């Protein structure tokens, strides 16, 4: 899932207009008529790519009529799922959804977790995290969810220690121990890979690593694990639609051995299957 703070009001409004018109032909039927196609809103990479693999290779045999609608923002997929313009979405993680439901009054729920876009620490200047010098500057994403996630990654690998009980809104002020006296530079998540020539290291989201030709499995100094990770991306529906037979079919296909192999082969560690 990409950094939600990239959105401007204009982009969100424009995407909403486009998204609802693009889905207009399906309308509320995509959610209420279980005999029609299941329309799923998704971010282009890797979500729509994974869904299109399912559509082209697995859906027909499973008796699933699947339609994929791509969106570049993080608002429309949830609002369209809420109003029934689409039957499901696939683009987000739990901390983001919790925040969205709370602020927007929506009723979106996860169905099945499919993959993780692992956060990693990268550097053009050192070959290991241990080689970071005292006073080094680390770039981190500046939105609340991803900044906390970045700091938790550094904490999990012994680079810093966060205060006990820090949640999903941790900032550098929540660091209890900083043995290397690291300095943190807060940037938009999309800017973190571009900062690598200017800082000593940067924490980069998996999707932006892909765009920057970074290979998490081999290039990251430290990398998130997919196991028990709260930031896994999942298939989601409006509450009450979890038992839609089309949704159940898609959930099963998205967590199949075929999809796991597709993720491993196509993304080479930049995206990790979470099942």
Structure tokens of 89?
A: 């979405």
35 DSSP assignment: T
10-residue block means of pLDDT along the chain (275 residues)?
Answer: 43 40 42 83 93 98 98 92 98 92 97 95 97 98 90 96 90 97 95 97 89 89 87 96 98 98 91 91
Q: What are phi and psi of 56, to 5 degrees?
A: -80, -20
In angstroms, the CA 4 to CA 6 distance is 5
Q: Output the pLDDT for position 31.
A: 56
Q: Output the pLDDT for position 5.
A: 39
Q: Output the pLDDT for position 150.
A: 97
Whether the bond into 46 is cis, omega within 30 of 0? yes
Structure tokens of 123?
A: 């550097």
pTM, entire model = 0.74
């Amino acid at each position: 899932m990409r950094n939600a703070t990239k959105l401007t009001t204009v982009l969100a409004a424009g995407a909403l207009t486009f998204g609802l018109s693009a889905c207009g032909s399906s309308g509320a039927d995509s959610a209420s008529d279980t005999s029609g196609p299941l329309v799923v809103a998704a971010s282009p990479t890797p979500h729509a790519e994974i869904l299109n693999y399912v559509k082209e290779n697995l859906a027909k045999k499973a008796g699933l009529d699947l339609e994929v609608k791509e969106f570049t923002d993080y608002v429309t997929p949830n609002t369209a799922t809420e109003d029934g313009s689409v039957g499901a979405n696939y683009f987000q993680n739990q901390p983001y959804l919790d925040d969205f439901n709370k602020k927007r009054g929506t009723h979106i729920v996860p169905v099945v977790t499919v993959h993780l876009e692992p956060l990693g620490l990268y550097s053009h200047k050192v070959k290991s995290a241990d080689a970071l010098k005292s006073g080094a500057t680390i770039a981190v994403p500046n939105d609340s969810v991803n900044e906390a996630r970045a700091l938790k990654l550094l904490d999990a690998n012994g680079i810093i220690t966060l205060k006990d009980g820090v949640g999903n809104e941790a900032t550098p002020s929540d660091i209890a121990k900083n043995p290397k006296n690291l300095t943190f530079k807060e940037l938009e998540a999309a800017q973190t890979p571009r900062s690598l020539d200017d800082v000593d290291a940067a924490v980069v989201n998996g999707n932006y690593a892909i765009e920057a030709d970074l290979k998490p499995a081999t290039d990251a100094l430290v990398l998130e694990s997919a196991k028990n990770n709260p930031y896994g991306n999942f298939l989601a529906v409006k509450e009450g639609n979890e038992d839609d037979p089309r949704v159940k079919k898609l959930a099963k296909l998205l967590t199949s051995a075929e999809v796991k192999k597709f993720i491993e082969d196509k993304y080479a560690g930049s995206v990790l299957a979470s099942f």
